[in-house]
Chains A and B, each alone.
Chain A
Amino acid sequence: MMRAEQHVLPGVEESSATRTMEGSREKSEAPAVVLKGLHRSFGTQIVLDGIDLTVKSGETLAVLGRSGTGKSVLLKLIIGLQKPDSGSIRVHDQEITRLDLDALNELRKKMGFLFQHAALYDSLSVEQNIAFPLKRHTKMTDSERGDRVRQLLSNVGMESDLKKMPSDISGGMQKRVGLARALALEPGILLLDEPTAGLDPITSAEINELILKLQEEHDMASIVVTHDLQSAKTIADRIALLHEGQVLIEGSFEDLEKSDNEFVSEFMKRDS
């Protein structure tokens, strides 16, 4: 398949997304995301209690943990949808907790976010959903934008569903469209919130394969929040297991399997 970078984003405004693409293609070892001492609580409930994590460019980190351990909150903190109580979040070497809204929006263009329920704009068609960021952040002509949308949809196997509304497609298809939208600006960092949740095993496997394929093609840093151990094993280079607001263990899938920590063993056993 033709690599997306070959003729992507003609006329991308400024150089935000282009810079990111070029940066990621160089396979730099520089960390794309660095979290230090991250704390976040809601009322009296402490959700994140000192998270330290680093994700390098081109690397995929899967974040596992029980429900309510703050995995989705972690992604929302990274993209600036929520503010941490304390701690540092550096994305592409910029401390996002200190950025003003314009600077934060510039940085967000370098990140793609797939929401747990896809969060497609329900008043817009599939085509318009994917064109949404392109229309606002690039200087593409209508025809260039149309080509780009078709290319993105083709990458996720949905080129024939261009004109459908989100309500007319299945949950798995919505995830695919969400993924295509997240990749529209060729982000250097991809944040995936439960990409396989609620999907049947076959569709889950297809989504995993799709993510792997896209990661190989685009060479992004990815953080995948998931409950699905099989998915984590398939797509992640590294896994971090959250427990009681902290990273309990971080390593390869095999490291987690070999761990003699009681909670880790229980988690791996229950999920397998």
Chain B
Amino acid sequence: MRRPFEGQELLRQFDEIGSKSLPLVALAGAAIGFVLALESRSSLVHFGAASMLPAALVYSIIHETGPIVTGLVVSGRVGAGIGAELGSMKVTEQIDAIEASGVNPYKFLAFTRILACILVLPLLTIAADFCAVIFGWIAETLAEPVSFQRFINQGFAGATFKDFLAPTFRTVVFGLIIGMIGCFQGMRTQGGTAGVGLSATSSVVLSSLFVILADVILVKIILVFFS
């Protein structure tokens, strides 16, 4: 029997989960970078270490702020979206209709969404990191003009590719969590529109919670194996 690859649905999910989350993730990254630079500056100046700001900022963004902010923003936007969409499909018997037509709804609906989340999260994290660094530089320049090249050189002076790789790719696990929880909550929806609302809410709450828990565990694992 031929197993059709659900390429079209996967592409649709890349657009829904990836492209449409990009503005929000970029904005969140930019805001975090800007605020982090402003807040860190006064402390570093107080200890006479203002020149350390670019390195501190880049380290903080790449290691923790970028991945976790991306994870939580996507939990909110995509977790709710998947939970509500699948919940609505469940209560209107669309999932039953897929099943009745001899198509596995888990493969068609859940697998494509989970895979899209897994693949898209690291890319969104890179976008968030990029915006955070750019807006960190803008905030720093407003306080004390510094060229972008110098800021980047100072920021990435002590950083290696390993520093970037492990934290960014832990968002693969965040994607898995967000996709699985959204699909699970959506596909077990019961009780009409109230049930759909409940599925959307519980998807956001549970995926945010598990993203935070996974972050704590993964940071420890990364410190043990990649430091």
B1 touches A13 (CB 8 A): yes
Within the assembled complex, what's the spacing in Å between the Cα atoms of A185 and B101?
9
A101-B104, A136-B103 known; A117 and B92 CB under 8 Å?
Answer: yes
- Chain B residues with CB below 8 A from A115, complex form: 93, 96-97, 100
Cβ proximity bits A66-99 to B, threshold 8 Å, 1 near / 0 not: 0000000000100101000000000000000000
User: B15 contacts the other chain (Cβ, under 8 Å)?
Assistant: no
B100 touches A113 (CB 8 A): yes
Interface with B: A104-112, A224-232, A234-242, A256-264, which one?
Answer: A104-112
- Name the residue of chain A whose CB is nearest to the CB of B101: A133
Within the assembled complex, what's the spacing in Å between the Cα atoms of A139 and B3?
11
- Chain B residues with CB below 8 A from A76, complex form: 96
- Name the residue of chain A whose CB is nearest to the CB of B3: A136
A13 touches B2 (CB 8 A): yes
Cβ proximity bits A205-235 to B, threshold 8 Å, 1 near / 0 not: 0000000000000000000000000000000
Within the assembled complex, what's the spacing in Å between the Cα atoms of A178 and B58?
55
A141 to chain B, nearest CB (A): 14
- Name the residue of chain A whose CB is nearest to the CB of B4: A136
- Name the residue of chain B whose CB is nearest to the CB of A184: B101
A102-B1, A136-B4, A139-B2 known; A119 and B102 CB under 8 Å?
Answer: no
Number of interface residues of B (CB under 8 A): 17
- Chain A residues with CB below 8 A from B98, complex form: 121, 132
User: B94 contacts the other chain (Cβ, under 8 Å)?
Assistant: yes
Within the assembled complex, what's the spacing in Å between the Cα atoms of A106 and B104?
11
A106-B102, A133-B102 known; A119 and B1 CB under 8 Å?
Answer: no
User: A200 contacts the other chain (Cβ, under 8 Å)?
Assistant: no
B195 to chain A, nearest CB (A): 16
A179 to chain B, nearest CB (A): 13
User: A271 contacts the other chain (Cβ, under 8 Å)?
Assistant: no
A117 touches B1 (CB 8 A): no
Within the assembled complex, what's the spacing in Å between the Cα atoms of A121 and B93?
9
Contact size range, A: 20 to 34
Within the assembled complex, what's the spacing in Å between the Cα atoms of A105 and B103?
7
B99 touches A81 (CB 8 A): yes
**Cross-interface CB contact of A119 among B2, B93, B103, cutoff 8 Å:** B93
- Chain B residues with CB below 8 A from A100, complex form: none
A14-B1, A102-B1, A136-B4 known; A119 and B96 CB under 8 Å?
Answer: yes
A118 to chain B, nearest CB (A): 9
- Chain A residues with CB below 8 A from B94, complex form: 119-122
Cβ proximity bits B47-90 to A, threshold 8 Å, 1 near / 0 not: 00000000000000000000000000000000000000000110
- Chain B residues with CB below 8 A from A102, complex form: 1
A270 to chain B, nearest CB (A): 28
- Chain B residues with CB below 8 A from A120, complex form: 94, 97
Cβ proximity bits B1-13 to A, threshold 8 Å, 1 near / 0 not: 1101000000000
- Name the residue of chain A whose CB is nearest to the CB of B108: A136
Within the assembled complex, what's the spacing in Å between the Cα atoms of A105 and B107?
13
A14-B1, A139-B2 known; A133 and B96 CB under 8 Å?
Answer: no
- Chain B residues with CB below 8 A from A163, complex form: none
B48 to chain A, nearest CB (A): 58
A79 touches B4 (CB 8 A): no
User: A137 contacts the other chain (Cβ, under 8 Å)?
Assistant: yes
- Chain A residues with CB below 8 A from B104, complex form: 101, 105
Q: Give residues of chain A (116-131) contacting chain B, Cβ–Cβ below 8 Å.
A: 116-117, 119-122
- Chain A residues with CB below 8 A from B97, complex form: 113, 115, 119-121
Cβ proximity bits A119-159 to B, threshold 8 Å, 1 near / 0 not: 11110000000001101110100000000000000000000
A13-B1, A14-B1 known; A117 and B93 CB under 8 Å?
Answer: yes
Besides A13-B2, A108-B99, A121-B94, 17 more A-B contacts (Cβ < 8 Å) are A13-B1, A81-B99, A102-B1, A105-B103, A108-B102, A109-B101, A109-B102, A111-B100, A113-B101, A119-B92, A119-B97, A120-B94, A121-B98, A133-B101, A133-B102, A136-B4, A136-B101
Q: List 17 A-B contacts (CB under 8 A).
A: A102-B1, A105-B102, A105-B103, A113-B97, A113-B101, A115-B97, A115-B100, A117-B93, A119-B92, A119-B94, A121-B89, A121-B94, A121-B98, A122-B89, A132-B101, A133-B101, A185-B101
* Residues of A participating in the B interface, judged by any CB pair closer than 8 Å: 13-14, 76, 79, 81, 101-102, 105-106, 108-109, 111, 113, 115-117, 119-122, 132-133, 135-137, 139, 181, 185
